[in-house]
Structures are given as structure tokens and as C-alpha cells.
């Protein structure tokens, strides 16, 4: 039973028949304010707790999806996404359709190699056991690693652990470390002249990645060394590091176009790399065994 005080305070009048109730401005704006504050909250949580609450779990086995089956040529590309990206972004950005339009005879497998696997330092063994091993059992003989952003690091880490297993790498807008390590290489004059520190900490991503690149590109004259392609948008925040790496590559293996660190730019760059005719070219041409892995292109001579 309500008290007299309750009865003396009228509630909101119901809307007239046929009319919709008006929402208050605060209730209307609340969802938009929440959406705007979500990234700010995420950054604050990362600063406070090292992103531990935001990092997705590193599931075992690592999820993956076959976008194009491995063809008779035996060439397959493993697609590694960026730090917070879902693996499905490759399919949504049209990577399979662009491969078909370019006429490249290749299989495509997207792998959920998100930041959780890097944080637990299991990205390479999980790729080998859960994604690449099964791909070999389905007929893959020439393996290409394709990575966007953080996925570029994953591609390099995999090559570093399994150098004889990789036929080629496509690094799309890769993260290449902080300004300090980039400045070291600039001051040295070239990657060949740069000498990395003798001891590199496990979490020193920049020095670790450039040390891998130095070994990879330093072996470019060897028959077993895979070709490395770089592609990036000129408006990318990471472009200074990309240009530094581009100096070390043959001119026909470094691609840039207007754009930023986004999927529209990366999809267009993927088409340009495929149009070069080098990706999966050895598998398609089926050269004699003695010639496998050797690239004959006008850009074989490295730029000084």
C-alpha cells in the first residue's frame, strides 16, 4: 500500500495514443558517449595492467580457415593479421578474390595469430603445429608467409625458426620497432653496416626484428634465401621504418601507395604485389630441383 507522500508525486504521463514517448537528451547521448570513451578506457587499462585484461586467449589449437585450397602447384600463403585484428579481415578485405583476379595459382589460409600468442611466445610453435603442418599434409610444398602489421613480425619470426621452410615473405605495413633502433641503422648507413647489440632482451622487439632482417637480407645471394616483399601506405605512422627497410630491397620488391595503416590500403597493396608475378612463381613454373628458390628478376642486385 502506497503512502500519501507516494501518491502526491505524479509519475510521467503515458504518451497519447499514436504518439511515441520522447527520450531525454541524456538517454539519447549515452550510447554515443560510451562508444567514444571505449578506446580511451582500453588505453587506460593497457597502461595500468599491461593489456592483460584485453588480450584474447591463445587457444590451442590455433584457429585457422582455408580460403583457397592448395593447388597442384603446391604453393600456399599463410595470412597473419595485426595485433587486434580478427583473421577474418583477410577474407572481408577480398584477399582471395584479388589473388584470383591476379591469376596467381596459390592456396590461402588465414590464421588467428593475434597478440595473445605473441604475449605467450607461442606464435611460432602454434603456427607450425596447428596451421602449417596440416597445410603440408594437404599438399603444400612452397610456403609463403604474408603478414599485416604485427603479422609481419610473425612472418619474420617463423622464418627465423624455420628458414628452410619458407619460399617467400610479404610484409604489409610491418611494425619495425621504435625510433631509437631506426636511428641506429640510419647512422650506420645501411643494414649491412649496422651492428646489433650483442645481448638483446626478449622484449626488445625492434632490435630482434632488425637482427632477423639483417640475417635474412644478408643471405640474399644464397640459393635458399626467400624473396622479401615490402608494401606500405605513404601516410602510415610506421612509414619511416618502412622506407628504411625499402632501401635494403630490390626496387621491384618494395611497394608503396597513398594510404594509411588500414585494410583498404593493404588490400590494394596486396593486388600490386601479386601483379609483380613473383609470388608463387617458382611453384607455378615448376623449375628443376636445382633451381628451386632462386629468383631471376631485374631487381636481383640489391640497392647500395
Q: Is the pLDDT of residue 62 over 80?
A: yes
What pLDDT shows up at residue 204?
93
Residue ranges per domain, the chain? 25-54, 64-283
What pLDDT shows up at residue 283?
67
What pLDDT shows up at residue 41?
38
pLDDT band at 11 (very low <50, low <70, confident <90, very high): very low
Taking the C-alpha atoms of residue 96 and residue 92, their distance in angstroms, rounded to an integer, is 9
pLDDT band at 56 (very low <50, low <70, confident <90, very high): very high
Dihedral sign from CA coordinates of 250, 252, 253, 255 = positive
pLDDT band at 180 (very low <50, low <70, confident <90, very high): very high
pLDDT band at 150 (very low <50, low <70, confident <90, very high): very high
What pLDDT shows up at residue 220?
54
Q: Is the pLDDT of residue 141 over 90?
A: yes
CB 171 within 8 A of CB 231: yes
- Weakest mean pLDDT among 47-51, 262-266, 274-278: 47-51
More confident residue, 217 or 11: 217
Taking the C-alpha atoms of residue 88 and residue 102, their distance in angstroms, rounded to an integer, is 21
pTM for the complete prediction? Answer: 0.77
What pLDDT shows up at residue 208?
96
What pLDDT shows up at residue 299?
36
More confident residue, 97 or 283: 97
What pLDDT shows up at residue 30?
44
The H or E element containing residue 278 is none
Taking the C-alpha atoms of residue 216 and residue 154, their distance in angstroms, rounded to an integer, is 14
Query: Which among 255, 265, 273 has a CA at the least distance from the CA of 235?
Result: 265
More confident residue, 21 or 249: 249
pLDDT tens per residue across span 220-233: 555 668 999 999 99
**Where in the chain does DSSP place strands (E)?**
64-68, 75-80, 107-111, 142-148, 168-172, 228-233, 254-257
DSSP string, 47-90: HHHTTTTTSPP--SSPPEEEEE---TT-EEEEEE--SS--TTHH
pLDDT tens per residue across span 67-117: 999 999 999 999 999 998 999 999 999 999 999 999 999 999 999 999 999
Q: What is the mean pLDDT of residues 51-74?
A: 90
Query: The domain 64-283: what is its CATH number?
Result: 3.40.50.1820
Amino acid at each position: 500500500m502506497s503512502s500519501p507522500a507516494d501518491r502526491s508525486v505524479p509519475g510521467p504521463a503515458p504518451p497519447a495514443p499514436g504518439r511515441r514517448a520522447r527520450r531525454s537528451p541524456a538517454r539519447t547521448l549515452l550510447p554515443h558517449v560510451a562508444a567514444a570513451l571505449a578506446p580511451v578506457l582500453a588505453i587506460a587499462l593497457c597502461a595500468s595492467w599491461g593489456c592483460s585484461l584485453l588480450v584474447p586467449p591463445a587457444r590451442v589449437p590455433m584457429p585457422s580457415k582455408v580460403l583457397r585450397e592448395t593447388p597442384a602447384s603446391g604453393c600456399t600463403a599463410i595470412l597473419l593479421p595485426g595485433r587486434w585484428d580478427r583473421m577474418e579481415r583477410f577474407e572481408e578485405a577480398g584477399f582471395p578474390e584479388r589473388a584470383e583476379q591476379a591469376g596467381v595459382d596459390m592456396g590461402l589460409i588465414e590464421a588467428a595469430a593475434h597478440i595473445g600468442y605473441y604475449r605467450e611466445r607461442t606464435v611460432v610453435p602454434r603456427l607450425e603445429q596447428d596451421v602449417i603442418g596440416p597445410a603440408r599434409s594437404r599438399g603444400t610444398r612452397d610456403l609463403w608467409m604474408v603478414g599485416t602489421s604485427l603479422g609481419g613480425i610473425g612472418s619474420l619470426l617463423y622464418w627465423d625458426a624455420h628458414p628452410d621452410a619458407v619460399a617467400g615473405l610479404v610484409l604489409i605495413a610491418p611494425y619495425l620497432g621504435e625510433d631509437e633502433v631506426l636511428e641506429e641503422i640510419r647512422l650506420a648507413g645501411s643494414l649491412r653496416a649496422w651492428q646489433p647489440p650483442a645481448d638483446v632482451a626478449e622484449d626488445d622487439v625492434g632490435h630482434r626484428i632488425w637482427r632477423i632482417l639483417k640475417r635474412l637480407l644478408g643471405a640474399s645471394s644464397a640459393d635458399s634465401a626467400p624473396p622479401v616483399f615490402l608494401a606500405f601506405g605513404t601516410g602510415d605512422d610506421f612509414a619511416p621504418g618502412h622506407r628504411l627497410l625499402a632501401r635494403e630491397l630490390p626496387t621491384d620488391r618494395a611497394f608503396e601507395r597513398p594510404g594509411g595503416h588500414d585494410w583498404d590500403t593493404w588490400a590494394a597493396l596486396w593486388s600490386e604485389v601479386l601483379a609483380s608475378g613473383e609470388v608463387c612463381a617458382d611453384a607455378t613454373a615448376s623449375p628443376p630441383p636445382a633451381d628451386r628458390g632462386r629468383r631471376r628478376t631485374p631487381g636481383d642486385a640489391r640497392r647500395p
